[in-house]
C-alpha cells in the first residue's frame, strides 16, 4: 500500500499517509525499513521524530531535518541534529511566527528539486507527541497543497497512535481524507509463536511450550514486546532450555528494560490528574464505564469533568483503550506490561 502511494506521487498525484498503531507495534521499524527501500529506488527521504513541543517548534525542527537532507552527507545531518535543541530552535523562536511555515515550505521546495531523485517523501514518527497535533497536521496539509499548486508533489507519512484523529474535532474529516490512514495491528497468535520459535532454529536453545505461550500472551502480539521477552529468555537459558523458572527471572529483566525505554517516558509526560486516572483504569482487568471511573477518581479528589478530560487525552495518546458504548464509552488498559508498570507506580503515589 505504501509503495503504491509513492508510485502515484511520482506520477504527479501525491498521496499522504497516517500510519496508526499502538505502542510497540512496529511503526518506527516499518518507517526505517521503508526509508531504505525508497532510497534504494533513488527517492529522497526525510525521516524525523516528533517530540513534546509546540506546533511552531515542531515545524522549525522539521525544516532543519529537511535542510539537512538537502545538504547531504551524515556530517551535516549530525551537526544540525546536535545543535537543534540548543541553537536552531532558539534562533527560530526569536523570528516572527509567520515565518516558520514559510521556511518549511521553502526547504521542501529546495529538497524536492535538488539533484536527480525521483520524489520527496517526508516521514514524521510519533506526530501525536506534538502539543497540538491537529494544528501541526493542518499546517503540513496546507504546505503540501500550496506546493502541489506549483507542480511540486511530495508525500507526507506520519505515524501516531490509533486515537490521532479522534482528538481532532472540526478538522477530522479533511485530515482523514488527506492523511489516508493505514492501521497496524498486533500479530495473531500463530504468527507471534513463529516470531519466537523460528529464530531459535539452528541454535542450541529451545523454549518450553508453556514459555512460548506465556510470551505470546504477555506481549499481546506486539512485536517489540515479543523481541524483548524472547531475547532475555534466550539470554537466560540453562543447559540449552528455557523453562518457567528461567523465564521468571528473564521476565523481570525484560520488564525493567521495557519500563526504562518506553513506560517511564509515557508516565513522565502525563499530567498529575492523568496519572491518577490511568492508575484507576489500570486497577481493573476489564473495561469499565466512564461513570465508574469518575466515581473512583472523585474519591481521589478529581472532579468528574477533569476525569472525563483526562480519559479523552489518555485514549487519544494510546495510554488507555476506549470501547465505544454510547457517548460515554468504557475504558481499559489492555497492555499487560504497561498495566503492571502502572500498578507499581500507583503503589508509590
**Alpha-carbon span 342 to 340, nearest angstrom:** 5
**Alpha-carbon span 312 to 331, nearest angstrom:** 10
**Alpha-carbon span 303 to 259, nearest angstrom:** 30
Instruction: Give the pLDDT confidence score for residue 94 in this predicted structure.
Output: 45
Backbone angles phi, psi at 204, to 5 degrees: -100, 15
Instruction: Give the pLDDT confidence score for residue 170 in this predicted structure.
Output: 65
- Are 331 and 293 within 8 A, CB to CB? yes
Q: Please report the DSSP string for 170-233 in residue order.
A: TTHHHHHHHEEEEE--PPPHHHHHHHHHGGGTTSS-EE-HHHHHHHHHHHTT-HHHHHHHHHHH
Q: Please report the DSSP string for 257-294 in residue order.
A: HHIIIIIHHHHHTS-HHHHHHHHHHHT-SS-EEHHHHH
Instruction: Give the pLDDT confidence score for residue 122 in this predicted structure.
Output: 95
**Alpha-carbon span 93 to 63, nearest angstrom:** 13
The DSSP H or E segment spanning 18 is strand 16-20
Assign 3-state DSSP to the chain and report helix, strand, coil percentages, each to 5: 60, 15, 25
- Reading the chain (349 residues) residue by residue, the pLDDT tens digits are 988 999 998 888 999 999 999 888 999 999 999 999 999 988 899 999 998 889 999 999 999 999 987 775 443 443 334 334 434 444 444 445 558 889 999 999 999 887 666 789 999 999 988 888 899 999 999 999 999 999 888 999 999 988 888 767 667 788 999 999 999 999 999 999 999 999 999 899 999 999 999 999 999 999 999 999 999 999 999 999 999 999 999 999 999 999 999 899 889 989 999 999 999 999 998 999 999 999 999 999 999 999 999 998 898 888 998 887 656 789 999 999 999 999 998 877 6
Instruction: Give the pLDDT confidence score for residue 327 in this predicted structure.
Output: 60
Residues 6+ apart with CB under 8 A from 67: 80, 107, 110, 111
Burial grade of 239 (CB within 10 A; 0-12, 13-18, 19 or more)? exposed
Instruction: Give the pLDDT confidence score for residue 24 in this predicted structure.
Output: 86
Instruction: Give the pLDDT confidence score for residue 72 in this predicted structure.
Output: 57
pTM: 0.79
**Alpha-carbon span 220 to 26, nearest angstrom:** 13
Structural domains of the chain, ranges and CATH numbers in brackets? 2-183 (3.40.50.300), 189-266 (1.10.8), 270-348 (1.10.10.10)
**Alpha-carbon span 297 to 310, nearest angstrom:** 11
Q: Please report the DSSP string for 241-259 in residue order.
A: EE-HHHHHHHHHHHHHHHI
Amino acid at each position: 500500500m505504501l509503495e503504491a502511494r509513492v508510485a502515484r506521487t511520482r506520477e504527479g498525484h501525491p498521496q499522504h499517509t497516517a500510519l496508526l498503531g499502538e505502542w510497540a507495534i512496529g511503526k518506527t521499524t516499518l518507517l526505517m525499513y521503508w526509508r531504505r527501500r525508497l532510497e534504494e529506488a533513488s527517492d529522497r527521504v526525510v525521516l524525523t521524530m516528533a517530540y513534546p513541543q509546540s506546533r511552531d517548534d515542531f515545524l522549525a525542527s522539521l525544516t532543519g531535518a529537511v535542510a539537512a537532507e538537502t545538504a547531504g552527507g551524515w556530517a551535516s545531518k549530525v551537526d544540525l541534529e546536535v545543535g537543534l535543541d540548543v541553537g536552531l530552535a532558539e534562533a527560530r523562536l526569536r523570528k516572527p511566527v509567520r515565518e516558520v511555515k514559510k521556511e518549511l515550505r521553502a526547504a521542501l521546495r529546495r529538497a524536492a528539486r535538488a539533484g536527480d531523485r525521483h520524489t520527496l517523501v517526508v516521514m514524521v514518527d510519533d506526530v501525536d507527541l506534538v502539543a497540538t497535533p491537529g494544528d501541526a497536521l493542518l499546517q503540513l496539509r496546507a504546505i503540501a497543497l500550496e506546493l502541489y499548486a506549483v507542480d511540486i508533489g511530495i508525500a507526507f507519512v506520519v505515524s501516531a497512535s490509533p486515537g490521532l484523529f479522534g482528538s481532532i474535532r472540526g478538522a477530522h474529516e479533511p485530515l482523514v481524507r488527506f492523511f489516508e490512514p493505514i492501521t497496524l495491528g498486533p500479530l495473531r497468535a500463530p504468527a507471534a509463536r513463529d516470531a519466537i520459535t523460528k529464530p531459535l532454529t539452528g541454535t542450541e536453545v529451545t523454549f518450553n511450550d508453556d514459555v512460548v505461550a506465556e510470551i505470546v500472551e504477555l506481549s499481546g502480539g506486539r512485536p517489540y514486546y515479543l523481541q524483548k521477552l524472547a531475547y532475555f529468555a534466550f539470554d537466560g537459558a540453562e543447559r540449552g532450555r528455557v523453562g518457567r523458572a528461567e523465564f521468571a527471572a528473564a521476565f523481570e529483566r525484560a520488564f525493567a528494560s521495557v519500563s526504562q525505554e518506553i513506560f517511564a517516558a509515557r508516565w513522565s509526560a502525563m499530567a498529575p490528574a492523568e496519572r491518577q486516572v490511568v492508575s484507576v483504569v489500570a486497577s481493573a482487568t476489564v473495561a469499565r464505564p466512564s461513570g465508574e471511573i469518575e466515581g473512583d477518581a472523585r474519591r481521589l479528589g478529581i472532579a468528574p469533568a477533569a476525569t472525563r478530560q483526562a480519559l479523552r487525552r489518555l485514549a487519544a495518546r494510546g495510554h488507555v483503550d476506549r470501547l465505544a458504548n454510547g457517548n460515554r464509552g468504557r475504558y481499559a488498559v489492555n497492555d499487560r506490561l504497561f498495566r503492571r508498570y502502572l500498578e507499581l507506580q500507583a503503589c508509590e503515589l
